[in-house]
Chain A
Amino acid sequence: MSKVKRYISPVILPIFFLILWQFFSVKLNNPIVLPSVTEVLVILARPNSSLLSLGSLIRNTLISILRVGIGYILAILLAIPLGMLIGYSRRIEEFLMPFLNLFRPIAPLAWVPLVLAWFGVASLASIFNIEQGGLYSLFNNIKISMLFIIFIGAFFPILTNTIYGVKSVKKTLIDSALTMGARKKDIFIKVLLPASLPSVITGFRVGLGVAWMCLVSAEMLPGSLAGIGYLITHAYTVARTDIVIAGMISISFVGGLFDLMFQKIEVKFFKWQSMDK
């Protein structure tokens, strides 16, 4: 009985919400303001068919994931070493943090004008000098300006969590490694990194969430011809609210999937952290 309850209680509100939505859409009878649940479901049921000649839902979602993935990985590559150094050394912290903190409060979207002035419509294709072929159409879809926005979104959560993780490593763990003959390199790789990993993973999770949220703003930038964010803004201009909502649902779905992935990682690999207090 309680097991049944556990499965039922999380879906009560969503179902209620769907019923309400359907009710109002029928009552309003204006698909531009509020399309019906069924209209949106029709689009979601055929994720492979092309929408507004912009490609299918799946194709656009994959392109978005690719963009976020690249910007996100760049953020990880910079934020982890930087965060470890800042967390480890008071001197480096005092040198870098006041500077980095100047940028922290700036919402990724606020960068858009500058980013456009700097990078325009330059893409990975122009960086790698690819001018035709299948690789071109893929790489040309990945604009530097988008990567920058996504990078900014992911960078700070990962940085902050890495710093926090390294700072909360117990001094005794470092000292005991030193007594066993660890050098600086060993301290970083064999002590600080694994000890702070749970917190770093939390940073990954939050960072990916923020990066994914920056997506729509990144894909509103000029030169964008694909992606979920583009699909949404374009569908809006032609008053296809059903596609807008289907796009929003895709965003929510993928974001949820990312989160689930990290939840599983946290449970599987970091049992020691919750047990070791």
Chain B
Amino acid sequence: MKNVIEIKGVNKLFLTDKKQEVKALKNINLDIKDQEFVCILGPSGSGKSTLLRLMEGLIDPTTGSINVMGSPLTKPIPEAGFVFQEYSLMPWRNIIDNVSFGLELREYSRKDRYKIAEDILTRFGLKEFTKSFPYELSGGMKQRAAIARAMATSPKILYMDEPFGALDAYTRFQMQKDLIEFWLEEKRTIVFVTHSVEEAVFLGTRVIIMSPRPGEIIADYNIGLSYPRDRWNKEFGKKFQTIMDIMNDIS
């Protein structure tokens, strides 16, 4: 299958407010194929968010090139959706208006965008909260709404930056299962950042491992287990151990 994302020789330097250079990413080369579920794994500060923001087109690489769906990236493209690590719902909009924001920008009529948003919210178990405001929702519900919002425009590529990082174990497991189900049904490309080895092995077709700063790709590992996966399976345990060993070596 063809590559939807091609990253060649990307370096990223940040200039801090005190004019100091921070080398966030070093010589990143990465191709991602259509319908892959890629997990990016790495310690804090290894540039995972930076890499994701580069792929989304929110920031530009210092050197190197990024092609998404065949063309060089200059700004966020409509075919990609993004779920942020931080809380990002608009607090002044209720849930349905948050979820249908992308459709509003695409000039769907109110009726059409509400219909689409309602369907998604129902699917995410938020049907009763369409008219609620973000502050009336629990953390897990807010995150579900943020994911629903990213999916509302049916993006071909979905970038997710530690979307379940702040959730309790139970909600986290539930949402991991839901995400896999969605991905199996809809066949999208997902790039998923996490710092949990277990989560990466549970979700990804492929796991990319980053080194501490400056972030470099130090391993690119195919999981090759079928879905849905079972955490208590012996094969799962082996993959987990292999990746855990790599992680231990770098830190």
Contacts and interface: CB of A to CB of B under 8 A. Distances in A.
Interface of A: 170, 172-173, 175-182, 186, 190-191, 194-195, 197, 271-273, 275-276
Interface residues of B, number: 28
Interface string B129-173: 000011100000000000001100100000000000000000000
B92 A181 contact: no
Contacts of B88: 170, 172-173, 175-176
> Among A172, A180, A191, A195, which residue has the most Cβ atoms of chain B within 10 A?
A180
18 contacts: A170-B88, A176-B82, A179-B58, A179-B80, A179-B82, A179-B150, A180-B81, A180-B102, A181-B78, A181-B102, A181-B153, A195-B90, A195-B92, A272-B133, A272-B134, A275-B91, A275-B133, A276-B134
Nearest to B106: A181
Interface string B190-223: 0000000000000000000000000000000000
Given A179-B82, A181-B102, A181-B105, A173 B90 contact: yes
Contacts of B31: none
**Secondary structure type dominating chain A contacts:** helix
A173 B88 CA distance: 6
A243 B173 CA distance: 75
Contact of B84 (A176, A190, A272): A176
A194 B105 contact: no
A273 B153 CA distance: 28
Contacts of A170: 86, 88
A267 to B, nearest CB: 15
A175 B101 contact: no
Given A180-B102, A181-B76, A181-B106, A194 B82 contact: no
Interface string B70-100: 0000011010111010111011110000000
A191 B90 contact: yes
Given A172-B88, A176-B88, 20 more contacts: A170-B86, A173-B90, A175-B53, A175-B84, A177-B101, A178-B76, A179-B56, A179-B76, A179-B80, A179-B82, A179-B150, A181-B76, A182-B105, A190-B101, A190-B104, A194-B93, A195-B92, A272-B134, A275-B91, A276-B134
A194 B58 CA distance: 22
Contacts of B76: 178-179, 181
Contacts of A197: 92
Nearest to B85: A172
